[in-house]
Amino acid sequence: NACPNCRKKVVERDEGKWVCNEHGVVEPQKQLFLSVALDDGTGCIRVTFFGINAEKLISMPADSLVDEIEHVGIQSIVTKLEQRLKGKELVVSGRTYKNKFDDGIDLNVSKFSDAVPKEEIEILKSSLNVS
């Protein structure tokens, strides 16, 4: 659950009262986040998509995902999402941080797009000053 104003996590204090550290008592919204392993051929990093980026990645709004999980079960949805996302080529950008649990480097995605190989080649060539 997240604050509708800042989208940060809210905590249930009293029965049915959700509190945001910044905005006080709020009516929470469902906030989707999705962590996946991203492999670029040189290594693997845990990448987390939040909110709209997560919905865009799976092509489904959070409330529809919750409804589908309640209807068919979470394992069925996880399997379906794994099949849909495995091998998908993306260009991602965001903020990296050191994971305190395993000392690995993780990435929180701020934006992403589907990779277009020809465009990526041209970007690399221009950054290397190659014709």
Domain match, 53 and 100 both? yes
pLDDT of residue 36: 95
The number of folded domains in the chain is 2
Asked whether residue 38 is domain-assigned, the answer is yes
Domain match, 24 and 83 both? no
The residue-averaged pLDDT of 92-116 equals: 94
Range of the domain at 10: 1-31
- DSSP letter assigned to residue 72: H
For 69-95, write each residue's pLDDT tens digit: 999 999 999 999 999 999 999 999 999
Domain match, 39 and 100 both? yes
Q: How many residues does the chain have?
A: 131
- DSSP letter assigned to residue 21: T
Reading the block at residue 66, the tokens are: 């919750």
Domain match, 40 and 58 both? yes
What does the alpha-carbon distance between residue 77 and residue 85 come to, in Å, rounded to a whole number? 12
What does the alpha-carbon distance between residue 94 and residue 19 come to, in Å, rounded to a whole number? 27
Model confidence band, residue 17 (pLDDT cutoffs 50, 70, 90):
very high
Q: Are 111 and 53 in contact (CB under 8 A)?
A: yes
Reading the block at residue 34, the tokens are: 């999705």
What does the alpha-carbon distance between residue 19 and residue 13 come to, in Å, rounded to a whole number? 7
Task: Work out the end-to-end distance of the chain between its first and last CA atoms, rounded to an integer number of angstroms.
Answer: 50
Residue 92 has a CB neighbour count (10 Å cut-off) of 19
